[in-house]
């Protein structure tokens, strides 16, 4: 086995987190079902979670004979795997997961994006940590979820401060495990997004070293399975319309949205409200500028050997 083959297999194994971990049964999924709209979501994706709770999308699509179903995923990489194998038709992830997925051969298309939200992700340290600056992360153990949006954030943050990903000790951990590791001192810092960021600051007294301002846009993307996007543009248009309405309501009723999300996300309303204020809750159709930003991420990841091959991000856009 060549080193390149070994690296690619390691990469695919890491990306392809089992569907069992996302509560999706291991079945032979149909890539496209015209009467189904299967949505993947994460609990942290507040606007999408509220759309699910409100049931308005189901009401809009029912007259067209389309049934809406929802599957929860623990993070973006697992959601992309679900999209790739045909378990879902539509989902919401950060900047890095689509790049990793495209490098692994996943077939999806970018559908829409959320306006930049750089304050919604950051690097934190324990309240008694001596670390005060990004430069002081050199040689330290930094926890983050591999393949998620913070993967790009930490790479870009280090580069801006004259460091490289090779200057730290990456520790790949899911949010819950990373928080526990920070509390125990097993890691020195944690790169994470809201509402987990707001929660660890409010509940543990964690100290923010840097957020993504001036470093990463922290776009969030709605992605679709390619055939679904080609054949059910009507359903996607309705979904984006409902998401836009939901986002508008969240912007005007942030406290009420936080109260509604509290029992779903398992956090107190004040913490959720703090996190909600860091997101735009406003969406746009995919454009050339945002795809160019994704290409920059892909090129950087390839140059750092984080992904095994070059990708062309515009290939994941419908003509």
pLDDT above 90 for 6: no
Element (DSSP H or E) covering residue 278: none
How far, in Å, CA of 190 to CA of 126, rounded?
Answer: 9
Average of per-residue pLDDT across 283-312: 96
Percent with pLDDT over 90 in the chain = 81
pLDDT above 70 for 23: no
For 299, left (φ over 0), alpha (ψ -120 to 50), or beta? alpha
> What range does the domain containing 78 cover?
3-117+219-316
> Which of 24-33, 64-73, 206-215, 240-249 is predicted least confidently?
24-33
Please calculate the CA angle 78-83-87 and round it to the nearest 5 degrees: 95
Q: What is the pLDDT of residue 293?
A: 96
If asked whether residues 204 and 226 sit together in one domain, one would say no
pLDDT tens sequence across 133-175: 999 999 999 999 998 899 999 999 999 999 999 999 999 999 9
- The better pLDDT of the pair 77, 172 is held by 172
95 contact partners, CB below 8 Å, separation of at least 6: 149, 152, 216, 217, 218, 219, 220, 221, 293, 294, 297
If asked whether residues 122 and 203 sit together in one domain, one would say yes
pLDDT above 80 for 4: no
If asked whether residues 149 and 25 sit together in one domain, one would say no
Q: What is the pLDDT of residue 10?
A: 46
Q: What is the largest CA-CA distance in the chain?
A: 60
What are the two backbone dihedrals, phi and then psi, of residue 117, each rounded to the nearest 5 degrees? -140, 65
Which one of 185, 211, 237 terminates a domain?
Answer: 211
If asked whether residues 7 and 108 sit together in one domain, one would say yes
How far, in Å, CA of 60 to CA of 47, rounded?
Answer: 17
Which one of 152, 178, 211 terminates a domain?
Answer: 211
pLDDT band (50, 70, 90) for residue 77: confident
Alpha-carbon Rg of the chain, whole angstroms? 19
If asked whether residues 171 and 77 sit together in one domain, one would say no
Q: What is the pLDDT of residue 3?
A: 39
If asked whether residues 197 and 258 sit together in one domain, one would say no
Which one of 162, 187, 211 terminates a domain?
Answer: 211
Cβ distance 257 to 276 under 8 Å?
A: yes
pLDDT above 50 for 127: yes
pLDDT above 80 for 24: no
Q: Which CATH number fits the domain that encloses residue 8?
A: 3.40.190.10
If asked whether residues 14 and 91 sit together in one domain, one would say yes
pLDDT tens sequence across 238-275: 999 999 999 999 999 999 999 999 999 988 999 999 99
pLDDT band (50, 70, 90) for residue 28: very low
65 contact partners, CB below 8 Å, separation of at least 6: 35
Strand partners, 222: 92, 112
What pTM was computed for the model? Answer: 0.86
If asked whether residues 303 and 179 sit together in one domain, one would say no
Give 183-214 as a DSSP string: HHTSSSEEEEETTHHHHHHHHH--EEEEESTT
Number of domains making up the chain: 2
If asked whether residues 122 and 111 sit together in one domain, one would say no
pLDDT above 50 for 27: no
> Which ranges in 205-287 belong to alpha helices (H)?
226-231, 233-252, 254-265, 269-276
User: Given strand 283-285, what is the order of strands in its sheet?
Assistant: 67-72, 36-41, 90-93, 221-225, 108-114, 283-285
If asked whether residues 133 and 168 sit together in one domain, one would say yes
> Which ranges in the chain belong to alpha helices (H)?
3-15, 46-54, 56-61, 76-84, 96-103, 149-160, 175-184, 196-204, 226-231, 233-252, 254-265, 269-276, 288-303
pLDDT band (50, 70, 90) for residue 30: low
How many whole angstroms from its chain centre is CA 86? 19
169-172/90-93 β-pairing:
unpaired
Q: What is the mean pLDDT of the chain?
A: 90
pLDDT tens sequence across 212-229: 999 999 999 999 999 999
pLDDT above 60 for 20: no
Q: What is the pLDDT of residue 76?
A: 85
Q: What is the pLDDT of residue 29?
A: 60
pLDDT tens sequence across 82-125: 998 999 999 999 999 999 999 999 989 999 999 999 999 999 99
If asked whether residues 7 and 123 sit together in one domain, one would say no
The residue among 221, 284, 280, 218 whose CA lies nearest residue 254 is 280
If asked whether residues 258 and 194 sit together in one domain, one would say no
């Amino acid at each position: 086995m060549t080193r390149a083959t070994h690296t690619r297999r390691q990469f695919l194994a890491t990306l392809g987190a089992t569907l069992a971990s996302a509560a999706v049964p291991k079945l032979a999924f149909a890539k496209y079902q015209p009467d189904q709209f299967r949505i993947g979501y994460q609990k942290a994706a507040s606007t999408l979670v509220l759309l699910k709770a409100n049931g308005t999308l189901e009401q809009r699509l029912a007259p067209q004979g389309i049934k809406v179903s929802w599957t929860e995923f623990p993070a973006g990489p697992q959601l992309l795997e679900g999209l790739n194998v045909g378990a879902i038709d539509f989902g919401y992830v950060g900047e890095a997961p689509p790049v990793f997925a495209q490098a692994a051969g996943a077939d999806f298309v970018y559908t829409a994006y959320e306006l930049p939200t750089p304050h919604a992700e950051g690097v934190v340290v324990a309240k008694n940590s001596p670390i005060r600056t990004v430069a002081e992360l050199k040689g330290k153990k930094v926890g983050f979820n591999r393949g998620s949006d913070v993967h790009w954030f930490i790479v870009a943050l280090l580069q801006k401060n004259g460091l490289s990903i090779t200057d730290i000790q990456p520790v790949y951990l899911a949010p819950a495990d990373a928080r526990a590791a920070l509390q125990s001192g097993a890691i020195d810092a944690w790169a994470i997004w809201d509402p987990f960021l707001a929660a660890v600051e409010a509940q543990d007294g964690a100290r923010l070293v840097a957020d993504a301002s001036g470093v990463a846009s922290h776009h969030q993307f709605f992605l679709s399975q390619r055939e679904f996007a080609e054949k059910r543009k009507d359903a996607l248009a309705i979904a984006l319309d409902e998401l836009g309405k939901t986002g508008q309501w969240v912007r005007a009723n942030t406290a009420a949205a936080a109260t509604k999300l509290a029992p779903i996300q398992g956090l107190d309303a004040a913490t959720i409200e703090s996190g909600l204020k860091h997101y735009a809750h406003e969406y746009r159709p995919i454009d050339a500028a945002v795809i160019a930003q994704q290409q920059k991420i892909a090129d950087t990841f390839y140059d750092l050997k984080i992904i095994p091959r070059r990708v062309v991000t515009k290939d994941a856009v419908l003509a």
